[in-house]
Amino acid sequence: MRFVPDFIAQFFTKGSPLYKDLQTMLGFTPTNIALYELALCHRSNNANSTENNERLEFLGDAILGAIIGEHLFTKYPTKPEGYLTDMRSKIVNRKTLNQIALKIGLKSIMKFNEQDYYLRNSLIFGNALEALIGAIYIDKGYATTRTFLRKRILVPFVDIELLENIEVNMKNKLIGWASKQGKTIEFVVLEETMEKGRKRFTVGVLYEDEIIAKSMASNKKEASKIAAEEAIKKLELV
């Protein structure tokens, strides 16, 4: 059964440079290459195609959370639930995943609209990493997925001690700072649009009745978080 159209499949034929790059990245030989082709296909690659990595991203997100949860539970047997939850959130943070995806070279083998400046500098690569995890899980099972994450992601790219010092909830940090300063901070939805059949939300940070930062994302929570990060930079709170 084919999961992707021929115009994508041609890039990942066995023996092609991209296929070899994928093998090197994974540390094993894919069995169902169609799954990986799909995982690396962003919906912007073909506006008329419904074949993209979003469903695999959904699955990969769940599998990633479970494996990271198991890893933290085993590694820190004396840590409370709050610590484990916080650390998992930091590891699976969109920005963190995107940075890891770029480091392992995922951008170079993805299929997306490279003419779109926003996409080239967005978080779609972290999303593709989640889709890749979903593909590995379907193709090879839980044990192989866990091994891939530990050997290829956690060990080389995740520094737990460093993450302990990172404040993930930028929105709460910003609100807390404003409260101490006697200032007002609000997060407001500036615009809600439809893009290729999906909702896009633009959220702004309202500081003392002035929009000082804004961001667009596929959900309000993500847009608020990114806008908060931009506001923190602008206010020089980092």
Average pLDDT over residues 217-235: 83
Given a cut of 80, whether residue 9 has pLDDT beyond it is: no
pLDDT band at 175 (very low <50, low <70, confident <90, very high): confident
Q: Which of 44, 28, 49 is nearest to 149 (CA)?
A: 28
**Residues 190-208: pLDDT tens digits?**
999 887 677 888 999 998 8
Task: Name the pTM for this structure.
Answer: 0.68
Query: What does each C-alpha distance from 51 to 62, 127, 203 come to in angstroms?
Result: 20, 15, 29
106 has pLDDT over 60: yes
In the structure, what pLDDT confidence band is assigned to residue 4 with cuts at 50, 70 and 90?
A: very low
Active-site residues: which are they?
Answer: 61, 130
For the segment 170-187, the average pLDDT, to the nearest whole number, is 84
Q: Calculate mean pLDDT across residues 113-121.
A: 75
Class of domain 170-234: alpha beta
For residues 38 and 60, is the Cβ–Cβ distance under 8 A?
no
Domains of the chain, by residue range, sit at 6-164, 170-234
**Domains 6-164 and 170-234 fall in the same CATH topology:** no
Identify the CATH class of 6-164: mainly alpha
Averaged pLDDT for residues 58-75:
94
